[in-house]
Amino acid sequence: MKSPDLGLRSDQFEYVELILLAVLVGVFGALGNLGFRALIGFFTWLFRHLEWNLLGIERGGLFRTLTPIVLLSGGAAMILLDWLFPGDVLGYGFPNFLEQVNLGNARIKRRWIVLKGLGAAVSLGSGASVGREGPIAQIGGAIGSAVAQLRGLSPDRAKVLVGAGAGAGIATTFNAPIGGLMFALEIVLLGQAETANLALLIISTFTAVVTSRVILGNESVFHVPLFVLKSYWEMATYALMGATLGALGASYIRVFNSTAAYFRRMDLPAWQKLGIGLSIVGAIAIALPENLADGYPVINRAMAGEYGLAMLLVLCAAKYAASSLSLGSGAPGGVFGPIFFIGTMAGGAFQRISAVFLANLTGPRGSYALVGLGAFLAGTTHAPLTALFLLFEMTGDFTIALPAMIAAVTALVVARAIETESIDTYRLAREGKTLQISQERLALTQIPVGAVMTKEVTVVSANARLSDVLHIAGQTPQSTLPVVGANGELVGLIVTRDLLALLSGGTELGPLVNAFDIAQPHCPRATADQNLDVASQLMEQERLDEIPVVDTAHSGRFLGMVTRQQIAQALNRVSVSLSALATRDQNIYWATGYRVMRLEIPEASSGTTVRALDARARFGVTILALQSGDDPEAGFVPVGPDRRLKAGDLIVAAGRPADIRRFERALAVGDTAAAASSAGQAAPEPGKS
């Protein structure tokens, strides 16, 4: 069906469509948040009202020792969910979510819309010391991904809608559209969003908040006190608090992740690990029931100044430990809630201490508790704008701006000086993954080693004599010699510089020494299906210019070598291809609304010719070049009209996006004439209307 002629170009229609999708994601994100709240309310009633009363815990005294039973019953429900849906329920999953968005194809499982909410609701309802924000961000992100998949959007567009959904969920939780926007931009998308995509994030978060306010009104989860600034000299006190909370935040990042790593190393089934963690959290709650769940009501009381110094310090320490144990042992949930709790208590405690030593430079309790929340959030997540705008929108008072900025930035600087990774990137960094990946490295991750390796390699047999090895090393330009066994397996590697050092060092090498004896048995190697980024990092670590390639890590069958030069050439080819397709200089200037795309010839159109396709007359599409599927290394070449196309060939086609899509559908069915006639009148040539 042709797009209605409203005076808009096809690319403008596409952007209007994206705007409508962003609105849709915002509405569904808000509804998902409200549904998640309802689930939390239900399971809170089930575990901490119904079961709580049945056990008689509300009576106090010895009955309070039964508190761990409530958490363990919730743990049993979590294990049941994990048994039904393995891998989708247990643990702190937000880092994996960020990895899928920024290093993957942004395709989030649709069932996460339900499972992440259900698992976290059981966890919070039974009293596990976790937050609700991470799960709601994943729920919103899964909604955005589902909308993108249903519409068939590219990974880049899908990534934006995933961020929009996550931001919508956070914005609805705190009734803070700009805070949700900053969350999506800083934390989910890592600050990488074009202006056009930023508009989509704004539309989604504001739509979500409007939807929520229509249904629930303008109520916020936090009841913030009136912010009071005694004098501008007080900035020094806020800076000192920021530094203190920054150091606390860095320690929390390490303890939180170290606890999770400890539980992962435990040789126990998941249900036992979860049981251990929840039992300890339940034991803490016997004396401190305020430590259960995310503790939002306790945060409100701390902001109102109800707790003394001792209680604030105890609550801070309890949440510090209980949240690490809960999430580390496998309880589903987020970390924002514990961060808010710890920051509030630490900020309030700092005010009590500061009021003793710096009475004239210290304001009221609630103000420091509030700014402490934002400073600790900035220090642990490394997202200062998210923290600042959440504070601005929660208070509605820009008097807080200067103290909040000073405390948040100071906390961020101190935290980063101690620990460079945030609480969400710490584990990924320890696994060798970085979300802040350059475009060059991202390109290398998309190219397998097998696509560029050379098979013309000089090798030596494992039983080759030393004299033969020396002769071969002197004849080959290679800096390494792979040593292969009788069945073609890689058994070691001889590095030429090490061989020369061995000879010049005066080491006694008898006549019976062979290649196997002097080779490195556990040598660096890459598999054919690994990507060039992995191979490049391996070369850097081993200080080699080439490494052998094997079939698989287990079989070890030698296939060839990959060199730094080949990796550089592959990267150059990718860069040239991308720049050629995106050139907008005086030689190639694509008119607005036109695109260049690569299309693969499907089986249905195999055997046809470019002349028979008649793409320009029927679809308004011009075929620029072709790459043979039989010899992809030959690159793209100009294509003649009588060239027969084969399945797997790639063609470069230029035209309007809608016309290229019609042409692609025609190729898929192998009937271009029928597809063209069903599409209506052929597209006009450039410059005609």
* CATH number of the domain within which 133 lies: 1.10.3080.10
Per-residue pLDDT at 675 exceeds 50 = no
Q: Are strands 650-655 and 622-627 parallel, antiparallel or unpaired?
A: antiparallel
Interval 238-260: pLDDT, tens: 999 999 999 999 999 999 999 99
| 224, part of any domain | no
Q: What is the DSSP letter of 132?
A: S
Q: Which two tokens stand for residue 604?
A: 């249905």
pLDDT of residue 347: 94
Does pTM top 0.75 for this prediction? no
Residue 591: pLDDT band by 50, 70, 90 thresholds? low
Helix (H, G, I), strand (E, B) or coil at 655: strand
Task: List pLDDT tens digits, range 515-529.
Answer: 777 778 778 888 888
Same domain, 515 and 374: no
Query: What pLDDT shows up at residue 688?
Result: 39
Specify whether the backbone of 384 is left (phi greater than 0), alpha (psi in -120 to 50) or beta: alpha
69 and 181 in a single domain? The answer is yes
**What's residue 504's pLDDT?**
61
Name the residue among 238, 258, 266, 499 with its Cα closest to residue 370.
238
Q: What is the pLDDT of residues 365-397, one digit of tens each?
A: 888 899 999 999 999 999 898 889 888 888 877
Do residues 493 and 414 lie in contact, with contact meaning Cβ atoms separated by under 8 Å?
no
**Domain range for residue 607?**
594-678
Burial class (CB in 10 A: 0-12, 13-18, 19+), 542: middle
Residue 689: its pLDDT value, please? 34
- With a cut of 60, say whether residue 4 has pLDDT above it: no
The answer on 267 and 158 residing in a single domain is: no
pLDDT in the model for residue 458? 86
CA 466 from centre of chain = 51
Which residues have CB under 8 Å from 305's CB, separation 6+? 225, 348, 364, 365, 366, 369
Does the pLDDT value for residue 508 go beyond 70? no
- Summarised one tens digit per residue, pLDDT across range 602-647 is 888 888 888 888 888 888 888 888 888 777 656 677 777 788 888 8
Tell me the CA end-to-end span of the chain in Å, nearest whole number: 19
Q: Would you say residue 87 lies in a domain?
A: yes
Are 492 and 516 a contacting pair, CB within 8 Å? yes
Same domain, yes or no: 637 and 541: no
Domain end: 181, 216, 251, which one?
A: 216
**List of residues 6+ apart from 422 with CB closer than 8 A:** 253, 380, 381, 382, 383
CB atoms within 10 A of CB 544: 19
Q: Give the mean pLDDT of 293-311.
A: 90
pLDDT tier at 195 (50, 70, 90 boundaries)?
low
Of 388, 405, 430, the last residue of a domain is: 430
Predicted pLDDT at 278: 94
CATH code of residue 508: 3.10.580.10
Q: Which two tokens stand for residue 58?
A: 């509300």
Whether 406 is in a domain gets the answer yes
How many domains is the chain built from? 4
Which tens digit of pLDDT belongs to each residue from 482-504? 888 888 888 888 887 777 666 66
Question: Is residue 207 domain-shared with residue 237, that is, in the same domain?
Answer: no
Among 92-101, 398-407, 432-441, 620-629, the minimum mean pLDDT is found in: 432-441
Note whether 393 and 463 are same-domain residues.
Answer: no
Of 239-243, 324-328, 410-414, 584-588, the poorest mean pLDDT is in 584-588
327 shares a domain with 282: yes
| 311 vs 189, higher pLDDT | 311
Which of 419-450 are b and which e, b meaning 16 or more Cβ less than 10 Å from the residue's Cβ?
bebbbbbbbbeeeeeebebeeebebbeebbbb
Domain assignment present for residue 225? The answer is no
Instruction: Check pLDDT > 80 for residue 193.
Output: no
Quick check: is 223 in a domain?
no
Mean per-residue pLDDT, 524-544: 80
- Confidence grade of residue 54 (pLDDT, cut at 50, 70, 90): very high
The residue that leads in pLDDT, 168 or 12, is 168
Give the span between the Cα atoms of 23 and 29, in whole angstroms.
Answer: 10
How many Cα atoms are found within 13 Å in the side-chain-facing hemisphere of 507? Answer: 11
The per-residue pLDDT for 582 is: 46
Q: Which residue has the higher pLDDT, 322 or 658?
A: 322
CA–CA separation, 22 and 165 (whole Å): 8
Whether pLDDT at 47 is above 80: yes
Q: Does residue 584 lie within any of the structural domains?
A: no
Tell me which of 187 and 317 has the higher pLDDT: 317
Question: Which residue type is seen at 119?
Answer: G
Do 266 and 206 lie in one domain? The reply is no
pLDDT averaged over every residue in the chain: 82
- Tell me: do 131 and 260 sit in the same domain: no
Report the alpha-carbon distance of residue 129 to residue 120 in Å, rounded: 11
- Measured distance CA(635)–CA(451) in Å, rounded: 13
Range with lowest mean pLDDT among 19-33, 322-336, 627-641 = 627-641
| pLDDT at residue 593, rounded to an integer | 59
Token pair 């019609």 is at which residue?
662
239: left (phi over 0), alpha (psi -120 to 50) or beta: alpha
Phi-psi region of 106 (alpha: psi -120 to 50; beta: other; left: phi over 0): left
Q: Which of 430, 463, 490 is the last residue of a domain?
A: 430
Please report, rounded to a whole number, the percentage of residues in the chain having pLDDT higher than 90: 27
Scanning 5-111, the segments in alpha helix (DSSP H) are: 10-45, 52-54, 67-84, 94-102
What is the widest separation between alpha-carbon atoms in the chain? 91
Q: What is the Cα–Cα distance from 655 to 667, expressed in whole angstroms?
A: 15
Is the residue at 5 inside a domain? no
pLDDT of residue 585 exceeding 50: no
Residue 583 lies in a domain: no
Q: How far is CA 561 from CA 341, 365, 566, 617, in A?
A: 54, 66, 10, 48
Residue 438 confidence class, pLDDT cut points 50, 70, 90:
low
User: Across the chain, how many H-helices and E-strands are there?
Assistant: 28, 9
Look up residue 447 and give its two tokens: 């190219």
489 with 422, same domain: the answer is no
CA distance 641 to 246: 67
Identify residue 276 by its one-letter amino acid code.
I
pLDDT digits (tens, 9 = 90+) for 207-227: 999 998 888 887 777 788 887
Both 93 and 203 in one domain: the answer is yes
Would you say residue 324 has pLDDT above 90? yes
Q: Are residues 470 and 600 in the same domain?
A: no
